[in-house]
Chains A and B, each alone.
Chain A
Amino acid sequence: MIAFILRRLIQSVVVMLAVALIAFTMFRFIGDPVNSMLPENATVQDRQKLRDRLGLNETVSVQFARFVSGAVQGEFGISYRNKRPVSDMIAERLPATLELVFAAAIFSLLLGVPMGIYTALHPKGIISNFLNVASLIGISVPTFVTGILLILVFSVWLNWLPSFGRGDTVQIGWWSTGFLTLSGIKSLVLPAVMLGLFQVTLIMRLVRAEMMEVLRSDFIRFARARGLTNRAVHFGHALGNTLMPVITIVGLQLGSMIAFAIITETVFQWPGMGLLFIQAVTFADIPVMSAYLVLVALVFVVINMIVDLLYFAIDPRLSAQS
């Protein structure tokens, strides 16, 4: 068990270093940081001073080392566009994205898993057919169209929920939360639904496929042959075996939700990391882009580790090997 954790930790560090390398390469070699940050009429001395300050005259390996040590401390340099430290900008926006992703994840699980189980157990019913069709349409509709439709119905026509911004937030240390105010929660609803809706169809189809696969397996047949009740077969035997692979995929989906948050934040003007990233891409603001890359990679790696550990804890076959 310990060996497994150690191995995964080392793997994670390696992956992070690789990502850091890519981020650093982007950071250092794409575009000209000096030109992007200084006004047109800057003198040669100004440029030289900036080059020194940014450490651009050192060797590449030293620069990489500085980059990594800076990254570990959360230092990512200065944004080309805003001229502010990137770490400040990230700290401001990170809570917004994380709260959004969290809310969306809960929403999609609460909706997707039961629907998936239902459609697996009643494959020919009317409700199942309807849900299947709806889910197929769900993955065909681009997320931003869903967002636009949500805004159209709930903001423009019904005027129930706001369509941009976070509402009022409460500051706890460096974290600003929208969960504690009514307007904060109201602002969270539409974006969370939009972000989560795509996942709902995914989760539903996944649970359905997995469960139908499990229901076809030999031990289910044997369980039925022993005369176990449908409830025991479906929820005792089948569900456990279904949820295991589902957990891995849902965990990984958390990561992709952070990416899809970019779209949600654009549609709703939600002041999170995603919006920051998109603005950075449009303006080729490399420091922000590379910081985002490193951060997202970190989140992915951490989530992967947690999912692996979870698997380990749950599957008796794996823990027996330790």
Chain B
Amino acid sequence: MALDAHPKPRLKAFVQSDLFYSFRTSYVTVAATLVALFIIAAAFLAPWIAPHNPFDVSTLSLWDSELPPAWAEDGDPRFLLGTDNQGRDVLSAILYGSRISLAVGFVSVALAMAIGIVVGLISGYFGGAIDAFFMRIADVMLSFPTILVALLVSGIVRGILPREMHDNAALVVLVFAITITTWVQYARTVRSSTMVERSREYVYAAQLVGRRPFAILFSHILPNVMGPVLVIATINLAMAILIEATLSFLGVGMPPTNPSLGTLIRVGNEYLFSGIWWVVIFPSLTLVTLVLAVNLLGDWLRDALNPKLR
């Protein structure tokens, strides 16, 4: 292999790399990323850009309730996507709801990734009883579907907490439930990558020089295992958002007083038969678009980083 006399600066190397090329020539992926970023930005800025505050009871008026979207016959331009049965603006509710959905998604992915990476590194590096212990747990957790475990955890916590606290703690409970069920994937991948890297010469060299295990783990091995971890993270983000939405839809997630997209869909579902379709359709569309965008990004990332396809 030819050796470069002057390695390129990292940004330039990235821009010229095959990875970025594959990215910018795939219109779908670029579009998906832009859409995802747009929704994330809009959700983040919700308190500032939402036309109304759907949770401030003083601003609500029953006269405004059950209005269809602005372009329909009885629509009101103040409420672009219509209102629900209490006069809450659907667009604002979606913005705030996305915020919650994304918050739960990102936080649980970050936590699960942190836990999973640490467990995976330790398990893969030290092996033996520690490894067996963690992997047993992982096996058991993986053999149960995520939704079930999330429901179970949610139910257990609800059983422990007094009833009044349920609503307030909902966010924390959700993040906890999703994190507990999703850390395993990261741990497994990181573990197998660690076991591969551990037998490489550069690790042996670092050990000879006397570097402590944790230093080796984090400064040498970790960068090499991040690739697959990122792929899993993107796919898990989509999954986390979906699980949160499902739990909320089932009634054991975010309450209607602080709804996520899933809660909005549940609430809106009850009015479906009376012809008030906008309360359920628009949150659904937002949710699907967001998850689709994240999935596309994850798909592209997986293909781009797959050594077998290069």
Contact = CB atoms under 8 A, between A and B. Distances in A.
Interface of A: 15, 18, 26, 30-31, 136-137, 139-145, 148, 151-152, 156, 252, 255-256, 259-260, 262-263, 266, 277-278, 280-282, 284, 286, 289, 293, 296-297, 300, 304
A28 B295 CA distance: 41
Nearest to A216: B308
Nearest to A151: B272
B140 A144 contact: no
Nearest to B294: A140
Interface in B251-302: 251-252, 262, 265, 269, 272-273, 277, 280, 284, 287-288, 291-292, 295-296, 299
Contact of A141 (B144, B147, B251, B288): B288
B155 to A, nearest CB: 4
Interface string B233-252: 00000100010011001111
Nearest to A303: B143
A289 B250 contact: no
B145 interface: yes
A281 B155 contact: yes
Given A143-B246, A260-B147, A296-B148, 16 more contacts: A31-B159, A136-B296, A137-B288, A140-B292, A141-B291, A142-B245, A142-B288, A144-B265, A156-B272, A260-B145, A262-B151, A263-B246, A266-B249, A281-B158, A286-B159, A289-B155
Contacts of B249: 142, 144, 263, 266
Interface string B137-174: 00010011101100110111011100000000000000
B265 A148 contact: yes
Interface residues on chain B, size class: 35 or more
A26 B151 CA distance: 14
Given A140-B291, A260-B147, A145 B265 contact: yes
B287 A137 contact: no
A148 B140 contact: no
A156 B273 contact: yes
B278 to A, nearest CB: 13
A224 B152 CA distance: 51
Contact of B250 (A15, A18, A266, A286): A266
B252 A142 contact: no
Contacts of A140: 238, 288, 291-292, 295
A42 B123 CA distance: 52
Nearest to B244: A142
Contacts of A300: 143-144
A278 B250 contact: yes
Contacts, number: 103
Given A15-B140, A140-B295, A262-B151, A148 B246 contact: no
B269 A148 contact: yes
A304 B250 contact: no
B272 to A, nearest CB: 7
Nearest to B251: A282
B160 A31 contact: yes
Given A31-B160, A144-B265, A145-B287, A281 B147 contact: no
A225 B100 CA distance: 57
A304 B143 CA distance: 9
Nearest to B268: A148
15 contacts: A26-B156, A30-B156, A31-B160, A139-B295, A142-B291, A148-B269, A255-B144, A256-B147, A259-B145, A262-B147, A262-B151, A266-B249, A289-B155, A289-B156, A293-B152
Contacts of A278: 151, 250-252
A148 B272 contact: yes
A63 to B, nearest CB: 18
A139 B296 CA distance: 11
Contacts of A145: 265, 284, 287-288
Nearest to B290: A140
B272 A30 contact: no
A263 to B, nearest CB: 6
B143 A26 contact: no
A289 B155 CA distance: 8
Q: Which of A15, A18, A142, A297 has the most CB of B within 10 A?
A: A142
A256 B156 contact: no
A171 B56 CA distance: 53
Nearest to B280: A148
B151 A281 contact: yes
A137 to B, nearest CB: 6
A260 B145 CA distance: 8
Contacts of B160: 30-31
A136 B299 contact: yes
Contacts of B143: 252, 255, 300, 304
B108 to A, nearest CB: 16
Contacts of A284: 155, 158-159
B272 A152 contact: yes
B295 A136 contact: yes
Contact of B145 (A15, A136, A141, A256): A256
Contacts of A281: 151-152, 154-155, 158, 250, 252
Q: Which of A139, A260, A296 has the most CB of B within 10 A?
A: A139
A144 B287 CA distance: 12
Q: Which of A139, A145, A252, A297 has the most CB of B within 10 A?
A: A145
Nearest to B293: A140
A136 B288 contact: no
A286 B158 CA distance: 10
Contacts of B145: 255-256, 259-260
Interface string B43-58: 0000000000000000
